[in-house]
């Protein structure tokens, strides 16, 4: 079943799949979770860099006909990004941000130094690059493992590479896809703000509704891509 496609949609979590598509059936084949929507394959990558790396590598290693992937999911926006809840955006570059050391200086500023700056090149240039949807707002993103609510650290994350949003899979996903020479898009919808607003600003329903609009539009007319 999973080897019948040359273009797929990837979504990190079963939670997001259910919020976007409703009561779609989640199936399992060869240890991979997937769903079908309007004859399109929805691959569940799992949340985080580790799950995404494992599941996407496993999938692509057994599906050499894949030419294009759309990674979709919710994301948090940094303060000052000029993004609003439920905005939908196209990610161009996604950085590894918390493979790093964080030090508070004597004047209480936060100094963040990535492993890349220390000479450890985890992925090329410390970011993965995606194709963009030109009709959307295009931003850069950070991929995080630790979700920060500390405002000063969030600002350090934002300012390091000029990112507007953060997610938990993008850089790993983009890097793996690039190793298989696959055209990859990352589309995110803003579900919350990072930092102090983290616990009070969520609108997952609205963000997922925007993702469904994009998917339906993509299926109906891919000429815009």
Could you report the per-residue pLDDT of 90-128, keeping only the tens digit for each?
999 999 999 999 998 767 688 999 999 999 999 999 999
pLDDT for 89: 98
Give the mean model confidence (pLDDT) for residues 204-216. Answer: 96
Domain housing 136? 7-224
- Whether residue 51 lies inside any domain: the answer is yes
pLDDT for 225: 44
| Burial annotation 86-118 (CB, 10 A radius, 16+ → b, else e) | bbbbbbebbbbbbbbebeeeeeeebebebebee
pTM of the predicted structure, to 2 decimals: 0.93
Residue pLDDT, tens place only, 18-29: 999 998 999 999
* CATH value at residue 44: 3.40.50.1580
Number of domains in the chain: 1
- Whether residue 138 lies inside any domain: the answer is yes
- Higher pLDDT: 107 or 134? It is 134
- Whether residue 2 lies inside any domain: the answer is no
Q: What percent of the chain has pLDDT over 90?
A: 81
- Whether residue 1 lies inside any domain: the answer is no
Residue pLDDT, tens place only, 31-85: 999 999 999 999 999 999 999 999 999 999 998 899 999 999 999 999 999 999 9
Side-chain-side CA neighbours of residue 12 (13 Å): 21
Q: What size, in residues, is the chain?
A: 225
- Whether residue 112 lies inside any domain: the answer is yes
- Whether residue 205 lies inside any domain: the answer is yes
- Higher pLDDT: 161 or 223? It is 161
- Phi/psi of residue 89, nearest 5 degrees: -135, 160
CA distance 225 to 208: 20
Residue 197 has pLDDT above 70, yes or no: no
User: What SS3 class is residue 167?
Assistant: strand
């Amino acid at each position: 079943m999973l080897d019948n496609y040359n273009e797929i949609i990837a979504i990190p979590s079963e939670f997001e799949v259910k919020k976007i598509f409703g009561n779609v059936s989640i199936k399992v084949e060869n240890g991979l979770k997937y769903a079908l929507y309007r004859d399109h394959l929805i691959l569940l990558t799992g949340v985080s860099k580790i799950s995404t790396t494992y599941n996407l590598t496993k999938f692509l290693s057994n599906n050499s006909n894949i030419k294009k992937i759309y990674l979709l999911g919710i994301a948090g926006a940094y303060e000052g990004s000029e993004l609003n809840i439920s905005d939908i955006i196209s990610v161009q570059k996604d950085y590894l941000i918390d493979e790093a050391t964080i030090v508070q200086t004597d004047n209480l500023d936060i100094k963040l130094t990535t492993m890349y700056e220390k000479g450890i090149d985890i992925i090329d240039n410390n970011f993965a690059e995606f194709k963009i949807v030109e009709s959307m707002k295009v931003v850069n993103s950070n991929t995080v493992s630790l979700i920060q609510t500390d405002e000063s650290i969030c600002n350090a994350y934002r300012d390091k590479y000029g990112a507007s949003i953060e997610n938990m899979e993008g850089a790993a996903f983009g890097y793996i896809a690039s190793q298989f020479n696959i055209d990859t898009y990352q589309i995110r919808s803003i579900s919350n703000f990072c930092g102090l607003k983290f616990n009070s600003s969520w609108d997952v329903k609205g963000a997922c509704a925007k993702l469904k609009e994009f998917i339906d539009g993509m299926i109906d007319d891919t000429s815009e891509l």
